[in-house]
C-alpha cells in the first residue's frame, strides 16, 4: 500500500495543481472549468494568504498527487480535494481527506459535489459525510454532503 501524507503547500506545487486541473476529463467529472495560469495562480495566492484556509499537498510515496483544502464560505466550513488522474481509483483521495479531517476539528463540515461524480461522492461517504440536499448550480445538479462528528 502506498504511503499517503499531507504537507503544507509549497510554491512549486501550484504548477502541478495547474496541470491536474487542466485535464478535461477531471474538469468534466468535477463540473469545474479549467482555469488559465494567471487565474489559477491568483486563486492559490489568495488561498495560501488566508488564515482561515487549511490547504495541504497530498504526497503519495513522496510524489505530489494533488491537494486537499478546507475553507469558510457563506458561514460554512467546506472541504474539497483534487488529485491528478494518475492517482484515481487507488483510495488516495479517501486517505488524504481522512488525514485532513484530523487536522480540521471544526464540525459540521460541508462538501459540494456534482451529482454525476459518483467517485467523489463515495470518497466523502467513506469519510463519514452524509448527503443532505440536492440543488442546481450553473445547470449542474449538485449534492451538499455534511460531516457532523
The overall longest dimension of the chain from CA atoms, in Å, is 39
d(CA 3, CA 18): 23
Let me know: does 112 contact 147? Beta carbons within 8 Å: no
* Per-residue pLDDT tens over the stretch 8-50: 999 999 999 999 999 988 888 888 888 999 999 999 999 999 9
Let me know: does 67 contact 58? Beta carbons within 8 Å: yes
* 3 state SS for the chain: CCCEEEEECCHHHHHHHHHHHCCHHHHHHHCCCCCCHHHHHHHHHHHHHCCCCEEEEEEECCEEEEEEEEEEECCEEEEEEEECHHHCCCCHHHHHHHHHHHHCCCCCEEEEEECCCHHHHHHHHHCCCEEEEEEEECCEEEEEEEECC
* Per-residue pLDDT tens over the stretch 80-138: 999 999 999 999 999 999 999 999 999 999 999 999 999 999 999 999 999 999 988 88
What is the domain partition of the chain in residue ranges?
Answer: 4-105
CATH topology of domain 4-105: Aminopeptidase (3.40.630)
Q: pTM for the full model?
A: 0.93
Q: How confident is the model at residue 77 (pLDDT cuts 50, 70, 90)?
A: very high
Amino acid at each position: 500500500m502506498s504511503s499517503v501524507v499531507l504537507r503544507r503547500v509549497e510554491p512549486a506545487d501550484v504548477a502541478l495543481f495547474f496541470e491536474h486541473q487542466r485535464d478535461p476529463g477531471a474538469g468534466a467529472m468535477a463540473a469545474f472549468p479549467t482555469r488559465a495560469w494567471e487565474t489559477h495562480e491568483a486563486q492559490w495566492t489568495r488561498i495560501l494568504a488566508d488564515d482561515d484556509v487549511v490547504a495541504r499537498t497530498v504526497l503519495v510515496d513522496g510524489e505530489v498527487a494533488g491537494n486537499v483544502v478546507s475553507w469558510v464560505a457563506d458561514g460554512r466550513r467546506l472541504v474539497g480535494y483534487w488529485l491528478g488522474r494518475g492517482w484515481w481509483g487507488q483510495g488516495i483521495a479517501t486517505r488524504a481527506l481522512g488525514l485532513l479531517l484530523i487536522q480540521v476539528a471544526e464540525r459540521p463540515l460541508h462538501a459540494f459535489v456534482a451529482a454525476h461524480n459518483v467517485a467523489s461522492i463515495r470518497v466523502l461517504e467513506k469519510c463519514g459525510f452524509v448527503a443532505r440536499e440536492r440543488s442546481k448550480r450553473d445547470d449542474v445538479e449538485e449534492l451538499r454532503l455534511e460531516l457532523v462528528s
